[in-house]
């Protein structure tokens, strides 16, 4: 009888952010659907009420079904029978419950039988599901693929594929191959256009494909013979009903064991081109990837929530030296910092989700009518923010969730090392988040542009002038000081004008920006609700010290020092 939405009022706080008014207005467009669909909202309050009530369903399913199944799913895992994937029993139960509740096409338009929800409540559902079972969220969360079909496929394809996803069919995105992991330009899977029937056929191997045996797959393949880079790649939809792909193996992973990671063999598999040829990687995969990275942010936050709760419960219950261990400074200082990182991660998650919501809503609106100049400018502003915040979010929150899992296990002591407590699973599940959908190091490559071109600084300056109650001005002064230090450090590196040197320090710069941004977001949360005061105090103190260390490291470094590190 647990509910993972209602037992965590921080979620409702983030759901009710003031920007939602703008997002709902863009998404519902004068609430025109209310006369066409009996489940469409009547006005803003009604829409918000629907999000809240639907999240209660998600919370209930996660508390009562997904979380209790997590242990057995981890132990059992998926298997291959006749070249097809069979999920663990618990995985299938989880999926059945979410399908019955109609939670598979959450963001899709109603005309494709979706719920037409913004990204924010969808990501919140992912946050909740991840807390219950971070491996399972990979299967459920692949409904992201539908968003890519909705953006780039033609109307006929949308009508054929999207309602299937809304009604519970699962998806997959088939990108990586044995020799094309981080470097997707190296994709080799061959797409051939058969001149006789005018259809495309796929041949080759994909590897590390999450839910590879899903009903509808988006496949990146080389459609332009003789090419060797990203410009020769196109995006295809493969329908599992063709039965032309076999699952050769399921990887034996360290964590997220319920999620089948497949090696796939395509043999003359019929497929449909999505959008235009040659734009597969450079346009469509980038969009898909940004959505997926936001999803990993949610996964990381859900895992952090789970790790924190396990640590807190254990520390309150476990007695040593005659008292609960939470009473010891060495333990409560860990818990305080864990909570601060959790709150910082979550506020960055929903801030980024809102940016994505605004610009995507404009984008869909532009399919129906021409946007005004102000609207176009607004869309671009939010799109840029989303582009810089998404890698920052993915990088920072995935690292934090690993730190939280580590500290939570540490608080459990010897018991945490045993299979007896959920923390060992959370610890293993967390590990992948800094790796897939682009490693932390690759997130830095994306986010560093926002550092060098000043975009992140501009946003920080906007945060700086937002109204605050007088008692929060002291914390703001600290953040202003951190910003000056950050600016100085960035300028110092920019003046050296050496890309390798910049790359060498890039992660430090991105993290400095991250600490300041999350500090501001927490401060603004505290302005709205005092419950975040403690985390804000802790996080800004922590961030200031972390930034000082980075600034110090960089300022005492010279370009010649790279030699100490360089491989011979």
Least Cβ distance, residue 18 to another protein (angstroms): 22
Between 129 and 493, CB nearer to another protein: 129
Taking the complex as a whole, the smallest distance from the CB of residue 52 to another protein amounts, in Å, to 11
CB atoms within 10 A of CB 35: 8
Among 16, 21, 83, 101, binds another protein (CB under 8 A): 101
Closest approach, Cβ 46 to another protein, in A, equals 7
Q: By C-beta, is 2 or 418 nearer to another protein?
A: 2
SS3 letters for 239-300?
Answer: EHHHCCEEEEEECCCCCCCCCCEEEEEEEEEEEEEECCCCCHHHHHHHHHHHHHHHHHHHHH
Task: Decide if residue 54 touches another protein (CB under 8 A).
Answer: yes
**Of 59 and 297, which has the nearer Cβ to another protein?**
59
Alpha-helical segments (H) within 453-498: 455-464, 473-496
Neighbouring CB atoms inside 10 A of 464's CB total 14
Query: Which of the ranges 50-58, 200-208, 287-295, 414-422 carries the binding residues for another protein, by CB under 8 A?
Result: 50-58
CB atoms under 10 Å from CB of 406, counted, come to 18
Binding residue for another protein, selected from 60, 213, 272, 485, defined by CB under 8 A: 60
Nearest partner of 343 among 162, 191, 79, 543, judged by Cα: 543
How far is residue 118's CA from residue 27's CA, in Å, rounded to a whole number?
7
- Cβ-proximal residues to 458 (8 Å cutoff; 6+ apart), any chain: none
Q: Does residue 377 interact with another protein by CB under 8 A?
A: no
Residues 113-132 that bind another protein (CB under 8 A): 115
Distance of alpha carbon 161 from alpha carbon 455, whole angstroms? 38
Work out whether 76 is an interface residue with another protein (CB under 8 A).
Answer: no
For residues 177 and 233, the answer to whether their CB atoms sit within 8 Å is no
Residue 533: CB atoms within 10 A of its CB come to: 16
Is 50 a binder of another protein (CB under 8 A)? yes
When asked if residue 162 is in the footprint of another protein (CB under 8 A), the reply is no
Q: Is residue 414 exposed (0-12), middle (13-18) or buried (19+ Cβ within 10 Å)?
A: exposed
Round to whole Å and give the CA distance between 325 and 311.
11
Instruction: Kindly tell me which residue out of 103, 379, 396, 447 binds another protein, with binding defined by CB under 8 A.
Output: 103
- Residue 1 contacts another protein per CB under 8 A: yes
For another protein, the binding residue among 33, 46, 251, 487 (CB under 8 A) is 46
Q: Does 30 bind another protein (CB under 8 A)?
A: no
CB of 103 to another protein, least distance (A): 6
Contacting range for another protein; rule: CB under 8 A; set: 47-55, 138-146, 152-160, 544-552: 47-55
Applying CB under 8 A, the span of 93-101, 330-338, 392-400, 513-521 interacting with another protein comes to 93-101
Classify burial at 92, counting beta carbons within 10 Å of its beta carbon; exposed 0-12, middle 13-18, buried 19 or more.
middle
Q: What b/e sequence results for 356-386 when a residue is b if at least 16 CB atoms lie within 10 Å of its CB, and e otherwise?
A: bbbbbbbeebeeeeeeeeeeeebbeebbbbb
* 169 lies in the site for another protein, by CB under 8 A: no
Q: How far apart are CA 60 and CA 100, in angstroms?
A: 13
263 strand-pairing partners: 249
In whole angstroms, the minimum distance from the beta carbon of 62 to another protein comes to: 11
Q: With CB under 8 A as the contact rule, which of the stretches 100-108, 241-249, 371-379, 548-556 interacts with another protein?
A: 100-108
Give the nearest distance from C-beta 115 to another protein in angstroms: 6
* Choice from 11, 61, 269, 447 touching another protein (CB under 8 A): 61
Residue 48 or 286: the one with the smaller Cβ distance to another protein is: 48
Binding another protein (rule: CB under 8 A), the pick from 13, 29, 48, 102 is: 102
| DSSP string over 343-398 | HHHHHHHHHHHHHHHHHHHHHHHHHHSPPPHHHHHHHHHHHHHHHHHHHHHHHHHH
For another protein, give the closer residue by CB, 23 or 61.
Answer: 61
Question: Would you tell me which residues interact with another protein (CB under 8 A)?
Answer: 1, 38-42, 46, 49-50, 53-54, 57, 60-61, 97, 100-103, 115
């Amino acid at each position: 009888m647990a509910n993972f939405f209602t037992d965590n009022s921080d979620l409702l706080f983030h759901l009710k952010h003031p920007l939602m008014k703008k997002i709902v207005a863009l998404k519902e467009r004068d609430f025109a659907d209310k006369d066409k669909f009996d489940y469409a909202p009547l006005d803003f309050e009604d829409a918000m009420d629907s999000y809240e009530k639907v999240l209660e369903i998600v919370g209930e399913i996660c508390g009562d079904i997904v979380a209790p199944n997590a242990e057995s799913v981890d132990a059992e895992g998926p298997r291959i029978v006749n070249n097809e994937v069979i999920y663990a029993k618990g995985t299938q139960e989880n999926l059945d419950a979410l399908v019955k509740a109609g939670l598979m096409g959450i963001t899709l338009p109603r005309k494709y039988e979706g719920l037409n929800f913004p990204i924010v409540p969808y990501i919140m559902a992912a946050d909740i599901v991840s807390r219950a079972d971070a491996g399972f969220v990979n299967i459920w969360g692949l409904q992201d693929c539908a968003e890519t079909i909705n953006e780039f496929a033609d109307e006929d394809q949308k009508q054929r594929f999207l309602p299937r996803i809304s009604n519970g069919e699962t998806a997959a995105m088939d990108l990586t191959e044995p020799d094309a992991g981080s470097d997707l330009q190296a994709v080799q899977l061959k797409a051939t256009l058969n001149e006789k029937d005018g259809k495309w056929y796929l041949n080759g191997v994909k590897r590390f494909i999450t839910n590879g045996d899903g009903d509808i797959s988006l496949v990146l393949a080389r459609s332009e013979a003789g090419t060797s880079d990203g410009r020769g790649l196109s995006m295809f939809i493969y329908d599992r009903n063709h039965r032309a792909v076999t699952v050769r193996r399921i990887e034996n992973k360290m964590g997220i064991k319920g999620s089948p990671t497949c090696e796939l063999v395509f043999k003359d598999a019929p497929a449909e081109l999505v959008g235009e040829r040659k734009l597969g990687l450079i346009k469509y995969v980038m969009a898909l990837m940004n959505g997926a990275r936001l999803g990993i942010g949610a996964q990381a936050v859900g895992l952090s929530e789970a790790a924190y709760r396990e640590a807190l419960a254990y520390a309150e219950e476990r007695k040593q030296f005659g008292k609960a261990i939470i009473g010891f400074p060495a333990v409560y200082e860990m818990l305080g910092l864990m909570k601060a990182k959790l709150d910082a991660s979550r506020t960055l998650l929903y801030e980024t989700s809102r940016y994505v919501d605004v610009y995507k809503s404009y984008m869909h609106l532009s399919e129906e009518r021409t946007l005004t100049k102000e609207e176009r400018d607004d869309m671009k502003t939010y799109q840029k923010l989303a582009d810089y915040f998404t890698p920052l979010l993915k990088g920072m929150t995935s690292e934090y969730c690993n730190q939280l899992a580590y500290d939570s296990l540490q608080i459990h002591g010897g018991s945490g090392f045993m299979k007896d407590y959920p923390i060992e699973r959370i610890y293993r599940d967390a590990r992948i988040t800094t790796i897939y959908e682009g490693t932390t190091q690759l997130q830095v490559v994306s986010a560093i542009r926002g550092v060098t071109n000043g975009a992140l600084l501009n946003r920080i300056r906007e945060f700086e002038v937002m109204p605050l109650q007088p008692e929060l001005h002291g914390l703001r002064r600290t953040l202003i000081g951190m910003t000056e230090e950050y600016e100085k450090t960035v300028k110092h590196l920019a003046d050296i004008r050496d890309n390798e040197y910049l790359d060498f320090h890039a992660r430090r710069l991105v993290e400095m920006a991250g600490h300041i941004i999350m500090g501001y977001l927490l401060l603004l949360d505290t302005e709205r609700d005092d419950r975040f005061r403690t985390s804000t105090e802790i996080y800004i103190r922590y961030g200031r010290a972390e930034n000082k260390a980075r600034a110090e490291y960089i300022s005492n470094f010279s370009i010649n020092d790279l030699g100490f590190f360089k491989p011979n």
